[in-house]
């Protein structure tokens, strides 16, 4: 975290992008609210994700909305109740707690994810680490569940730690309702909850967060993808678990498929890449987790990482997981309900590729990428798909009929675009405010407007202004959208 | 609940509208999932709500997204920890539990909401009510909290029982970010959670549900509404608390304002009415709660009730509450943070009108209203704003190039509208399936299409078919939307 991170956080507070929850009560670490501007961006990001993955790919993909609270048997079957926990160190003197791997990471500047409590304990002893708050000794490393559980009269219920489990338990019903065809994609965009020991870095590790997850159910004997040839020669930056010594490599889809990752998997990896690139996040790579790092049910696991100025490093924003038939088989066993389906001439339990996106992290990546400072001017260069407003409409001054005219222009545009009207303060201040929240255009009504019916359109990024007649504004905006929306 | 209710529930299971959560584990009462078709309707309903209340009214109204889990002090201040509980009866023999007022309601067919535990206890004794399961005696009526609470290292956190509290704690920050203007509207569309004793009637009383709530902050000395004259002569069916003996009355906005409900309040009551009417839910009334029934912090409280075929009665789908400055003042007191603002030349704590909508109940009202059966045909006459698809595109048969042509028509329409392609089964079965989920139009490509480039467009409600040339389909659909979208 550096100055950029601080500047973005500060801007977020000022401009209602995001801020700590229950701030007036001192707030609780790990909870953030989206403000009136931030929520516009977040909603557009979610809707763009839906458009990209559920509509534009043209596959049999649908969204459902399962409950966030689910009963105990679901998480017994999924393994979350037994395995979903973090290793924790606690100071024996002052009670300070921290995730053991993160404590080590902070001291030794290496990654320790995936080590056992015993291994972490040994490392802490070996390096003689002491409490950073009071210098006290640490107790033995222990495990702590990340699940939020609530007792009810009918047994425990838990807030889901990932949206995926709702999809697995609903699979059979959705398969039937969607014409019994594979592949079938079932997505959820919604909240998930993890009782993290050390929430940190603003939206980056929180206790309540938004995921967009897509589970693609497919026949394991049908690993090809009909559109694979369209991406076969495209390249992605990858770090392979088996070739980590080689570091980052630039490999084509075809080369990846040649290394044993099957076509469908590689195809969706490139769709992830395309999604982020279409949002201007082009500095990205796919980092494969090795056997110790990945969950035991994932056969393949790549993190999709984007470069953040705020951290001066790559950070995970999404993941691509080949979960095999692990989840459906476990739910079959625990629920005694068959998860077999009949397709392609035989009965079997489908396999699953999971595309899992952190919406908050992606949102933050967009702020990080878009944040610009140039002398006194600060602006957010957000991509068109997620800018909170297309345009602000401003009368140069609020008199001589300019305000009325501006209101008319606003009304004209409001039925088709996200625009706002603003007459408060100097025109410079209005531009500055709009720049800070990433508004694409400023449309100003001045004295010339009253004579010749033209307005100025100011571009957020270049600040260049152009004169356009009122009747052409709509077409002008649409043209930009058509050429750039995905 | 009657046959219509059962038929809707059955259709919902079959067509993935909604179904019990974690069904494969026997499910838990009070939790439902939205399936792939139901979610489309729900999302469109939410987006239409946003359009109607946050955009088309043209006021300073914004949406935010506060956390669902909030720390204890929030709900101490709001009064939920102390007061948000239900009176419960429990059988001393078999352990059966039920909300005391609902038990009485079931036996005596009267409404007992708002009575104290003592009063309910007396009534149960007076009428000699016994356990409906085993005939056993009931224990004394006691109170049970509706809050889902969870212990963390930093104190208790609770799932919000209403979305409103997030808005109140964020008010000051949003007021500042939104140019310090009143009225200011802050909306939340999201989940809320109540640990109900007796969840029931499918989506009607659940433990996890979706609210769309809008808090309008205003200057209590400015009770007028600038657009009041536009609705002054419109009429609404109301039952007033002070004139309950008169039953339903048809009163104009002006007459209501004359009875002491101020202009702003009455204006939003009519906007609620307009919203439901625009969705085809025209059989509705506003039922005012009296002092015992309403929460003590509400000065005015009208339930917006819609007539349900499923229950053969009016049921609450939304509420309009004048919460005064109760919430802000309480948060001020508990947080020691001033909630005063400077506006209209003085300092004061704003007052609040709350428009609170049950999205699940409204969704269910749309199914209830739209459900039609006519001989063998079943269809959902959903309004255009929320129909899951605008059209299905079907080749009459999947040969002789009809399927290819139909794919082309699908591609042509897909970029602009929610359409789907379906070639499986007889054309009659495809129409039947589409009718059952409320698809507005069926577009069929037949042998004539190959000759003259025309298709048939079939209307869901009338089943009438019309021949239209392919190039005109888009215009045709748009025309219908323009004339009917609100």
- Strands A441-445 and A391-395, how do they pair? parallel
Instruction: Report the pLDDT value the prediction gives residue B482, as an integer from 0 to 100.
Output: 66
Domains B85-145 and B389-480 share a fold: no
**How many other CB atoms are found less than 10 A from the CB of residue A23?**
18
Quick one: fold of A389-480?
Answer: Rossmann fold (3.40.50)
Instruction: Report the pLDDT value the prediction gives residue A357, as an integer from 0 to 100.
Output: 98
Q: Do B63 and A24 touch (CB under 8 A)?
A: no
Quick one: fold of A85-145?
Answer: Herpes Virus-1 (3.30.40)
How far, CA to CA in Å, does B450 sit from each of B423, B444, B471? 17, 12, 14
Nearest CA in chain A to B180: A424
Computed on alpha carbons and rounded to an integer, the radius of gyration of chain B in Å comes to 25
Q: How far is it, in rounded angstroms, from Cα B54 to Cα B213?
A: 11
pLDDT digits (tens, 9 = 90+) for A100-149: 988 888 888 887 877 888 899 999 999 999 998 899 999 999 999 999 99
**Chain B residues lying within 8 Å of A207, measured CB to CB:** 69
- How far away is chain A from the Cα of B20, in angstroms, using its nearest Cα? 9
What are the φ/ψ torsions at residue B35 (nearest 5 degrees)? Answer: -80, -175
Question: With the C-alpha atoms ordered B108, B110, B113, B118, is the resulting torsion angle positive or negative?
Answer: negative
* CB proximity A435 to B under 8 Å: no
pLDDT digits (tens, 9 = 90+) for A279-316: 999 999 999 999 888 888 899 999 999 999 999 999 99
Across the interface, which of A25, A152, A424 has its CB nearest the CB of B74?
A25
- How far away is chain B from the Cα of A270, in angstroms, using its nearest Cα? 22
Residues B101/B104/B108/B114 CA torsion (nearest 10 deg):
-20
- Under 8 Å CB-to-CB from B318, ≥6 apart: which residues? B272, B276, B303, B304, B355, B356, B357, B358, B361, B362
Per-residue DSSP letter, A165? H
* CB proximity B142 to A under 8 Å: no
**Chain B residues lying within 8 Å of A16, measured CB to CB:** 64, 173-174, 177-178
**Chain B residues lying within 8 Å of A21, measured CB to CB:** 66-67, 70-71, 166, 169
Nearest to B15 by CA among B315, B361, B371: B371
Instruction: Report the pLDDT value the prediction gives residue A486, as an integer from 0 to 100.
Output: 43
CA angle B174-B179-B181, nearest 5°? 90
* CB proximity A144 to B under 8 Å: no
**How many other CB atoms are found less than 10 A from the CB of residue A130?**
15
The structural domains of chain A, with segments of one domain joined by +, span 3-82+150-370, 85-145, 389-480
Across the interface, which of A29, A64, A74 has its CB nearest the CB of B35?
A64
Q: How far is it, in rounded angstroms, from Cα A172 to Cα A169?
A: 8
Q: Structure tokens of A133?
A: 């708050």
Question: With the C-alpha atoms ordered B21, B22, B23, B25, is the resulting torsion angle positive or negative?
Answer: negative
What number is the average pLDDT over the span B48-69? 95
- How far away is chain B from the Cα of A191, in angstroms, using its nearest Cα? 9
Nearest to A442 by CA among A401, A428, A37, A451: A428
- Angle at which helices A359-370 and A3-14 cross, to 10°: 100
What SS3 string covers A353-397? Answer: EEEEEEHHHHHHHHHHHHEEEECCEEEECCCCCCCCCCEEEEECC
pLDDT greater than 50 at residue B486: no
- Under 8 Å CB-to-CB from A433, ≥6 apart: which residues? A15, A422, A425
* Better-scored residue on pLDDT, B203 or B16: B16
pLDDT greater than 60 at residue B483: no
- Minimum mean pLDDT range among A212-221, A474-483, B27-36, B101-110: A474-483
* Better-scored residue on pLDDT, B483 or B121: B121
What number is the average pLDDT over the span B411-418? 91
Nearest to B428 by CA among B403, B392, B382: B392
Nearest CA in chain B to A193: B69
Q: How far is it, in rounded angstroms, from Cα B382 to Cα B154?
A: 47
Across the interface, which of B16, B166, B174 has its CB nearest the CB of A36?
B174
Q: Do B25 and A68 touch (CB under 8 A)?
A: no
Question: With the C-alpha atoms ordered B230, B235, B236, B238, is the resulting torsion angle positive or negative?
Answer: positive
Q: Do B19 and A191 touch (CB under 8 A)?
A: no
What number is the average pLDDT over the span B70-94? 93
Instruction: Report the pLDDT value the prediction gives residue B58, as an integer from 0 to 100.
Output: 86
Q: How far is it, in rounded angstroms, from Cα B278 to Cα B284?
A: 12
* CB proximity B290 to A under 8 Å: no
Domain B3-82+150-370: CATH superfamily is Bira Bifunctional Protein; Domain 2 (3.30.930.10)
pLDDT greater than 90 at residue B427: yes
Instruction: Report the pLDDT value the prediction gives residue B60, as an integer from 0 to 100.
Output: 95
How far, CA to CA in Å, does B304 sit from each of B47, B236, B281, B359? 20, 11, 11, 13
Q: Do B67 and A32 touch (CB under 8 A)?
A: yes
- Under 8 Å CB-to-CB from A168, ≥6 apart: which residues? A78, A215, A327, A328, A331, A352
Q: Structure tokens of A465?
A: 């202004």
**Chain A residues lying within 8 Å of B394, measured CB to CB:** none
* CB proximity B31 to A under 8 Å: yes
Nearest to B271 by CA among B63, B49, B481, B64: B49
Listed by number, the residues of chain B in 332-361 with a beta carbon closer than 8 Å to a beta carbon of chain A are 334-335, 337
Q: Do A177 and B66 touch (CB under 8 A)?
A: no
Q: Are A161 and A331 in contact (CB under 8 A)?
A: no
- How far away is chain A from the Cα of B298, in angstroms, using its nearest Cα? 23
CA B54 to chain centre: 16
pLDDT digits (tens, 9 = 90+) for A432-469: 999 999 999 999 999 999 999 999 999 999 999 999 99
Which of A9, A18, A25 is the best substitution to test chain B (most B C-beta atoms within 10 A)?
A25
Q: How far is it, in rounded angstroms, from Cα B91 to Cα B53?
A: 46
Q: How far is it, in rounded angstroms, from Cα B218 to Cα B221?
A: 9
pLDDT greater than 80 at residue A1: no
Q: Do A16 and B173 touch (CB under 8 A)?
A: yes
Instruction: Report the pLDDT value the prediction gives residue B480, as an integer from 0 to 100.
Output: 75
Query: ipTM score of the complex?
Result: 0.95
Q: How far is it, in rounded angstroms, from Cα B219 to Cα B180?
A: 12
Q: Do A31 and B148 touch (CB under 8 A)?
A: no
* CB proximity A451 to B under 8 Å: no
* CB proximity A148 to B under 8 Å: yes
Nearest CA in chain A to B14: A177
The residues facing B315 across adjacent strands are: B306
Nearest CA in chain A to B181: A424
Tokens 């921290």 belong to A98
pLDDT digits (tens, 9 = 90+) for A155-203: 899 999 999 999 999 999 999 999 999 999 999 999 999 998 888 788 8
């Amino acid at each position: 975290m550096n100055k950029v991170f601080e500047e973005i956080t500060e801007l977020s507070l000022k401009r209602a992008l995001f801020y700590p929850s229950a701030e007036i009560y001192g707030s609780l670490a790990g909870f953030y609210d989206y403000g009136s501007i931030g929520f516009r961006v977040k909603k557009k990001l979610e809707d763009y994700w839906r458009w990209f993955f559920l509509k534009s790919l043209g596959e049999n993909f649908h969204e459902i909305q399962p409950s966030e609270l689910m009963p105990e048997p679901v998480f017994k079957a999924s393994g979350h109740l037994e395995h979903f926990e973090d290793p924790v160190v606690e100071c024996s003197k002052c009670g300070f707690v921290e995730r053991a791997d993160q404590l080590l990471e902070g001291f030794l500047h290496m990654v320790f994810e995936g080590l056992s409590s015993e291994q972490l304990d040994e490392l802490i002893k070996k390096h003689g680490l002491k409490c950073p708050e009071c210098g006290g000794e640490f107790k033995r490393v222990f495990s702590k569940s990340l699940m939020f559980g609530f007792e009810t009269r009918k047994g425990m219920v838990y807030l889901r730690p990932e949206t995926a489990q709702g999809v697995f338990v609903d699979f059979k019903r959705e398969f039937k309702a969607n014409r019994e065809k594979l592949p079938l994609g079932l997505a959820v965009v919604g909240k998930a909850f993890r009782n993290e020991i050390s929430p940190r870095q603003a939206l980056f590790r929180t206790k309540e967060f938004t995921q967009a997850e897509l589970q693609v159910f497919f026949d394991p004997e049908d690993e090809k993808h009909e559109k694979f040839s369209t991406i076969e020669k495209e390249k992605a930056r990858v770090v392979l678990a088996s070739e980590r010594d080689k570091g980052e490599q630039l490999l084509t889809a075809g080369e990846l498929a040649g290394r044993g990752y099957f076509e469908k998997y590689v195809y969706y990896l490139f769709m992830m890449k395309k999604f982020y690139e279409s949002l201007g996040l082009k500095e990205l790579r796919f980092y494969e987790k090795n056997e110790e790092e990945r969950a035991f049910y994932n056969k393949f696991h790549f993190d999709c990482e984007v470069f953040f100025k705020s951290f001066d490093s790559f950070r995970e924003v999404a993941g691509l997981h080949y979960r095999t038939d692990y989840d459906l088989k476990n739910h079959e066993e625990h629920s005694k309900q068959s998860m077999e389906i009949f397709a392609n001439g035989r009965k079997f339990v489908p396999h699953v590729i999971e595309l899992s996106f952190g919406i908050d992290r992606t949102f933050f990546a967009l702020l990080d990428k878009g944040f610009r400072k140039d002398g006194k001017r600060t602006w957010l260069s957000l991509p068109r798909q997620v800018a909170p407003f297309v345009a602000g409409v401003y009368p140069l001054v609020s008199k001589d009929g300019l305000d009325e005219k501006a209101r008319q222009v606003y009304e004209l545009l409001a039925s088709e675009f996200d625009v706002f009207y603003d007459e408060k303060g100097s025109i410079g201040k209005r531009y500055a405010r709009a720049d800070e929240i990433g508004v694409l255009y400023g449309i100003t009504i001045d004295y010339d407007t009253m004579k010749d019916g033209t307005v100025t359109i100011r571009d957020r990024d270049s600040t260049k202004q152009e004169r356009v007649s009122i009747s052409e504004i709509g077409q002008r905006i649409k043209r930009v959208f058509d050429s750039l929306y995905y």
